[in-house]
Amino acid sequence: MSKPALMNSTYITTPIFYVNDLPHIGHAYTSIICDTITRFKKLEGHDVLFTTGTDEHGLKVEKAAKEKGKTPNDFVDEVSKNFRKLTSTLEIQNTDFIRTTEERHKISASFFWNKLVEKNQIYKGNYKGWYSVKDESFYQEKELIKEGEIFKTQDGSVVDWIEEDSFFFKLSLWEKELLKFYELNPDFIKPLSRMNEVKSFVKSGLKDLSVSRTSFNWGIKVPNSDHIMYVWIDALTNYLTSIGYPKINSKKIKFWENCIHIIGKDILKFHAVYWPAMLMAINHPLPKSIFAHGWWTNEGKKISKSLGNTVDPNEMINKFGLDQFRYFLLREVPLGNDGDFSEKSLIIRINSDLSNNLGNLIQRVTKFLKKNFNNKIPYSLIDEYETNKQLKQGYFLINNIKIKMNNFEISKCLEDVFLYIDELNKFVDECEPWKSFKLDPEKAGKDLSILIECFRIIGIILQPFIPNASRKILDTLNIKESSRRFDNLTREHALKKSYELNNPQPLFPRYEK
Ligand code: MSP
């Protein structure tokens, strides 16, 4: 049965990054997760749009430009490049890179604003309250901690008291609708703990949201007014701009309805409360889901510019390699949990999982096959699929990974693949083809052929996670580009007798601790 067309469109988004900062591990993490999901969906046969970009307006950016003695325009042009460069360093497969200072975005955000006005969702008032420039967020006093004369957010950022004319979005009208929506769509916010957090936030009461500012200029102008748009309204609409809003055709709507926003836990309220409420308010379909990942610390300490302890992804990749860095971030903690970064734990992962476990296994088997079988598969594997333990496990693994990936269990997927690799290592140790080869070359040939077929399974499955190493494995196995999708992981595609491999390639060097 063919799949409905709707299932085949997927739209993945990273948050757009503030340009007041240099790219760090947090930005790299979000991007790598999105890239992994993108690659996975593509291998499943989906058509994927994947957008990332930079959030360039707001007081925070205006202040950062001033500190550097630059105009906001010059400043954002310069800093946005660092983030664009990060996408190429990370080799992520984004289909768009959006900047909120682009004309297409101004058109889209203004259109969105006008829709809110048209639907009677905006009114003029005066905002008196607390504001954190660091989070670009308004706070109620009950959410803050008082330290002497200063008020701080739970994360320790100082808030300022502001009083200014402002437009308001009638967020309070959407409380019930939001709660109803969460009930009807229990998978809308993941992990579940975040869904519960959001529900209790909404249940505790929503106030109308101030959505424009008048005390500074760096932003998109509110149509027919001297206000500028609150940076979060501007920023959230990027997800629509990127697919052509306001001109969204039926094809693009399918992408939108299958849109997954991957975000950090700190920006959940904006994505899971404000954004759906505004979309409901203009009667626009909602994205499919939001996944909030955890935060990385550096050797137990919160990463911050002032502590000077940010982890530079460029440095890590230069030192250890891209796949190694990706693997660590994806494997070390379950998606949704916080993680602690240290070079020591990165090296442990590289040495034990990638170098010893995966790399050695592939090297020793392919080298032996080259030396003794002239790189040719000595045995046909089609008939082995139903009976051979290793192949059956491989088959099981594929289905298991598909289920887990669609549930965002990335780390668990890698754990399962590497447990399978453990099993294959045990199999090699038991059958010792290098010994049995002399006494029983046929048996050795069969065992080696089974292993190579298992490598085909591993090589294909690992593509979304460690794309470069997988490419090397599949190149060594001489698997054509067009035969690397998941639907090739079947018995019919199993390698046949006399199939010729390419020469082995080195995979992962070991590092000294
Ligand atoms: N500009 C807003 C997002 C607007 S989206 C419509 C923003 N930008 S940010 O640059 O501050 O953060 C971008 C992402 O990086 C967020 O998802 C945030 O959670 C993530 N991280 C920033 N530091 C992080 C860690 N230390 N660890 C993991 N991710 C963290 O917020």
Q: State if residue 188 touches ligand 1 by the CB under 6 angstroms criterion.
A: no
pLDDT at 472: 97
Determine which residue's CA is closest to atom 5 belonging to ligand 1: 15
pLDDT tens-digit series, residues 232-281: 999 999 999 999 999 999 999 999 999 999 999 999 999 999 999 999 99
**CA dihedral sign of residues 53, 402, 269, 238:** positive
Which of 60, 295, 303, 335 is the best mutation target for the ligand 1 pocket, counting ligand atoms within 8 Å of the beta carbon and taking the most? 295
Closest atom of ligand 1 relative to the 297 alpha carbon: 26
pLDDT band with cut points at 50, 70 and 90 for residue 6: very low
Which of 51, 55, 232 is the best mutation target for the ligand 1 pocket, counting ligand atoms within 8 Å of the beta carbon and taking the most? 55
pLDDT at 292 over 70: yes
Residue 441 tokens read as 């070359």
Q: State if residue 340 touches ligand 1 by the CB under 6 angstroms criterion.
A: no
pLDDT tens-digit series, residues 195-228: 999 999 999 999 999 999 998 999 999 999 999 9
According to DSSP, the β-strands at 96-99 and 47-55 are parallel
What three-state secondary structure class fits 506? coil
pLDDT at 385 over 80: no
In angstroms, what is the span from residue 15 Cα to ligand 1's centroid? 7
φ, ψ of residue 236 to 5 degrees: the values are -65, -35
In angstroms, what is the span from residue 17 Cα to ligand 1's centroid? 6
pLDDT tens-digit series, residues 306-356: 788 999 999 999 999 999 999 999 999 999 999 999 999 999 999 999 999
pLDDT at 307: 81
Each as own residue / partner, the long-range contacts of residues 248-257 (CB below 8 Å, 24 or more positions apart, any chain) are: 251/9, 253/285, 254/5, 254/6, 254/9, 255/9, 255/10, 255/11, 255/49, 256/11, 256/285, 256/287, 257/6, 257/285, 257/287, 257/288
Determine which residue's CA is closest to atom 24 belonging to ligand 1: 26
502, amino acid identity: N
User: Are 388 and 379 contacting, i.e. CB atoms less than 8 angstroms apart?
Assistant: no
pLDDT at 20: 86
pLDDT at 140: 87
Determine which residue's CA is closest to atom 30 belonging to ligand 1: 26
Determine which residue's CA is closest to atom 19 belonging to ligand 1: 264
pLDDT tens-digit series, residues 27-86: 999 999 999 999 999 999 999 999 999 999 999 999 999 999 999 999 999 999 999 999
pLDDT at 404 over 50: yes
In angstroms, what is the span from residue 24 Cα to ligand 1's centroid? 10
Q: State if residue 313 touches ligand 1 by the CB under 6 angstroms criterion.
A: no
Which of 51, 230, 263 is the best mutation target for the ligand 1 pocket, counting ligand atoms within 8 Å of the beta carbon and taking the most? 263
In angstroms, what is the span from residue 52 Cα to ligand 1's centroid? 12
Q: State if residue 18 touches ligand 1 by the CB under 6 angstroms criterion.
A: yes
This prediction has a pTM of: 0.96
pLDDT at 2: 44
In angstroms, what is the span from residue 513 Cα to ligand 1's centroid? 31
Residue 184 tokens read as 């009807």
Axis crossing angle, helix 410-431 with helix 389-405, rounded to the nearest 10: 170
Mean pLDDT of 461-486: 97
In angstroms, what is the span from residue 81 Cα to ligand 1's centroid? 17
Of 349, 320, 361, the residue nearest 504 (C-alpha): 361
pLDDT at 4: 46
pLDDT at 189 over 80: yes
Q: String of b and e for 367-397 (b: at least 16 CB within 10 Å)?
A: ebbbebbebebbbbbeebbeebebbebbbeb
Q: State if residue 15 touches ligand 1 by the CB under 6 angstroms criterion.
A: yes
What three-state secondary structure class fits 397? helix
Residue 501 tokens read as 């491999």
Place of tokens 């709507």: 253
pLDDT band with cut points at 50, 70 and 90 for residue 7: low
Q: State if residue 30 touches ligand 1 by the CB under 6 angstroms criterion.
A: yes
Which of 54, 267, 273 is the best mutation target for the ligand 1 pocket, counting ligand atoms within 8 Å of the beta carbon and taking the most? 267
% of the chain surpassing 90 pLDDT? 87
How does the average pLDDT of the chain come out, rounded? Answer: 94
pLDDT at 149: 85
Mean pLDDT of 92-114: 98
